[in-house]
Amino acid sequence: MTVTEKIAQLSAVRVADLITAGELDTEKLAQRLSFGTAAVTGVSSIPDIDPARYLAVCGRLQSYLDGQTRLGIPAFICEGPHSQQGLFNGDLIPPAIAMAASFDTALVREMAGELRAQLSALGVSQILAPGLAVVRAPHWMGLSGSFGAQPYLVGRMGVAYLRGMRGETDQGNVLATAMSFVTASSHPAGEAQGGVHLGRRELREILAEPFAAAIREAGLSGIVTADTTIDGIACTGAPEVLSDLLRTELGFRGLVVSAANGVRNLIERHRVAADELSATALALSAGVDVELSGGCYSATLEDALEGQLINIEALDTAVRRVLWQKLQIGLLDDQPVKSVADAASAGVEPDSETPAAGADSDCEEQLSRLAARLADEAVVLVKNTLGALPLSTDVRLALYGDDISALANALSVAGLVAGVQVETSQIADQAEVLIPSGCDAAIVCLEVEPTDAGELPRFGEAQLNLLRDLLACELPVSVVLSGTSAFAIGLLPAELSAILINWSPGAVGLEALAKALVGKVNPSGRLPVAVPQFPGEWATQAPLFGFGHGLTYSHFEYGELQSVDTVDTHGAIEVSVVIINESELAGTEVVQLYLQDLVAEVTRPLRQLAGFHRLVLAPGQAKRVVFQLDASQLAYYNRKLEYVVEPGRIDLMVGASSTDIRSRRRLTVQGDRRLFKQQQRLATQSHDQDISP
């Protein structure tokens, strides 16, 4: 390869720079792709794009690279985080925070596998997902793209997603490129790209831990750098983050790509580089293999080499990583690229009603089914006073919200219950609330969005006034909260009968909500983040509802936690508890295992999630839930930043949430102090056993 061809493999091209009037432009292709490219980004942003046209564009791009460049190396067809929710189905697949609320790793893995098949059939070979940021502040603007607030949960969900996206063979795989290393999710103003100040221990144990799990268990092969700073160090230009921590400590061997304009922001946002040349040298030396956008690499990499700001070995290392990942997902095997090109040349017109070649209708149907199941499992019932929900079969219901006609329709379809009559009304600033005559209950749908004001969003006065007026009429009032933010539920009137959180947008979310309201689906979602009481000084408050909280229409009793009394630092233990469904309704309990290190060199968490298990029980049924806990789950970074398991005392706790512990047991850790590497940490395994009558 020539130097020019190598540089081309480290730079991406936006499809917007290759089109004229919405169509690929031959002159622009020759200008921008003559030496190849690492990736083409944003094909889905072409105006009026549909599956058939998407496939045609991908086919022409790959055909051009195959036939009109000297090396014929195909490009990654790269789509952003939005592709995690489907390219042409709107918000078909619930967002990451909803996936996390399900606590169902098996379903997330299955869904990701179907999504991989659909994306691959369209020609997509790289997506910027999943998001592995740990939510450290409830008002963080990136909450909807995260798997929650506990590193263990984020890691388990990330591993499940990546295993599904990886597939069983190399052919047709999609390179899932996790975001973002390392995201500043504790920024005081909640900014997704803001800088934070935190210690090296928190960086490793909290923010980096889900990435570590994804690397060691799911073979994570792609990572996006965070366009942020930690203690004033810009991650995109930091070898201590991208080389020392990511590659040496965590054992990452894959591809590192920059965030959008991440290299250029070393100049414009972070001001640690004076110009494009120095930004390019800083980023490549730190370990950024591919610049996704910004143009610094393509403009100045050759000058950086000639000026000896970087050496040829650094360039070659980055190129090898790009080519290796293309090989790993089958791009260099030629067949996936040829199949895309052949399908695109099969005469499919952009405006044709015929499904695009490769767009399997069975895959689409399966993906829709899985998305619906995931949305069902993501609805969280956080309050239910005196059994206000599910709605009775003869209730006359008043619905309020800014756009609740769709929910009214979903209720009439999903309920399938004679006698449910729905009256709807918009929320507005009005002197009095008009309540349809004869209504027995009211449901108010409230949606809030994150703000950049450094606090949780507040409910509007019109919303709160409506609730007060409805309660004054002595109606049982239930509230449904939706949006992409955590909620300060303490602002809502305490007299509310029920509160649900519905993370899933679109039709699939409305259907799931309707089924939960009428009891067609027994809610099983759990909070992946704690819910604070009030905006403002949330950091000093006890949460109103803790991490893992969620109610069902069933009632579960826990037995005593069973385990041995001691474990060696090199060993593992089995922990078990019996759960009984003492209600007359089948339901799902999410059994959660927490631990606390009672005495350590540094302060340890009061509740550290170490395992969870979704358990479905029929009325009166009992099962034993068994956790296999490896000693590596007890490891932490000590004052010397050694990753160790030490002799001492551990409290094991099992319960329905972090604030609803049902049983606990003291464990003594014996043996020699043991040093670990991150690659040696083993996830907790769980299963359930039938109990003989």
For 498-560, the DSSP string reads EEEEE---HHHHHHHHHHHHHTSS------SS-B-SSSSSGGGSPPSB-TT--B-SS-EEE--
pLDDT at residue 452 greater than cutoff 80? no
pLDDT at residue 387 greater than cutoff 80? yes
pLDDT of residue 538: 57
Q: Give every CB contact of residue 472 below 8 A, 6+ residues apart in sequence.
A: none
pLDDT in tens, 207-248: 999 999 999 999 999 999 999 888 889 999 999 999 999 999
Largest CA distance in the chain: 82
Total count of residues recorded for the chain? 693
CA distances from 169 to 118, 272, 651 (A): 15, 42, 42
CATH architecture, domain 380-540: 3-Layer(aba) Sandwich (3.40)
pLDDT of residue 440: 83
Helix (H, G, I), strand (E, B) or coil at 454: coil
d(CA 572, CA 201): 25
Asked if domains 9-362 and 380-540 share a fold, the reply is no
For the beta carbon of residue 675, count every other beta carbon within 10 angstroms: 13
Q: Do you find a cis peptide bond into 182, omega within 30 degrees of 0?
A: yes
Helix (H, G, I), strand (E, B) or coil at 70: coil
pLDDT at residue 356 greater than cutoff 50? no
Fold annotation for 556-690: Immunoglobulin-like (2.60.40)
* Residues linked to residue 20 through DSSP beta bridges, in sequence order: 23
pLDDT of residue 540: 60
% of the chain residues with pLDDT over 70 = 87
The answer to whether the beta carbons of residues 561 and 577 sit under 8 Å apart is yes
Q: Give every CB contact of residue 681 below 8 A, 6+ residues apart in sequence.
A: 212, 213, 216, 630, 632, 633, 635
The highest-confidence range among 94-98, 101-105, 171-175, 542-546, by mean pLDDT, is 101-105
pLDDT of residue 644: 96
pLDDT of residue 542: 79
pLDDT at residue 449 greater than cutoff 70? no
Helix (H, G, I), strand (E, B) or coil at 670: strand
For the domain made up of 9-362, the CATH class stated in words is: alpha beta
Q: What ranges do the domains of the chain cover?
A: 9-362, 380-540, 556-690
**Residue scoring higher pLDDT (613 or 170):** 613
DSSP state of 245: I
Residue range 512-519: mean pLDDT, rounded: 92
pLDDT band at 418 (very low <50, low <70, confident <90, very high): very low
- Token pair of 174, please? 């999609």
pLDDT of residue 453: 52
pLDDT at residue 181 greater than cutoff 80? yes
Across 55-69, 71-85, 329-343, 577-591, least confident range: 329-343
Q: What is the 3-state secondary structure (H, E, C) of 5-61?
A: HHHHCCEEEEHHHHEECCEECHHHHHHHHCCCCCEEECHHHCCCCCHHHHHHHHHHH
Half-sphere exposure of 261 (CA within 13 A, CB side): 6
DSSP state of 134: P
Burial 271-304 (b: 16+ CB within 10 A, else e): ebbeebbbbbbbbbbbbbbbbbbbbbbbebbbeb
Which residue type, as a one-letter code, is found at position 421? Q
The answer to whether the beta carbons of residues 594 and 654 sit under 8 Å apart is yes
**Residue scoring higher pLDDT (533 or 626):** 626
pLDDT band at 347 (very low <50, low <70, confident <90, very high): very low
pLDDT at residue 350 greater than cutoff 50? no
pLDDT band at 426 (very low <50, low <70, confident <90, very high): low
Residue range 433-458: mean pLDDT, rounded: 72
pLDDT at residue 333 greater than cutoff 90? no
- Token pair of 340, please? 């895309």
> Read out DSSP for 646-663?
-SEEEEEEEEEETTEEEE
pLDDT band at 416 (very low <50, low <70, confident <90, very high): very low
pLDDT of residue 12: 96
Residue range 244-266: mean pLDDT, rounded: 95
Across 144-153, 502-511, 613-622, least confident range: 502-511
CA distances from 611 to 3, 131, 543, 570, 670 (A): 50, 20, 21, 19, 22
d(CA 140, CA 36): 39
pLDDT at residue 81 greater than cutoff 90? no
d(CA 656, CA 192): 31
The answer to whether the beta carbons of residues 458 and 484 sit under 8 Å apart is no
Tell me the whole-structure pTM to 2 decimals.
0.93
d(CA 376, CA 513): 7
d(CA 391, CA 389): 5
- Would you give the distance in Å from CA 36 to the centre of its chain? 32
The answer to whether the beta carbons of residues 177 and 255 sit under 8 Å apart is yes
pLDDT in tens, 109-155: 999 999 999 999 999 999 999 999 999 877 777 888 999 999 999 99
Pairing of strands 441-448, 477-483: parallel
Q: CB burial class (10 A; 0-12, 13-18, 19+) of residue 72? A: middle
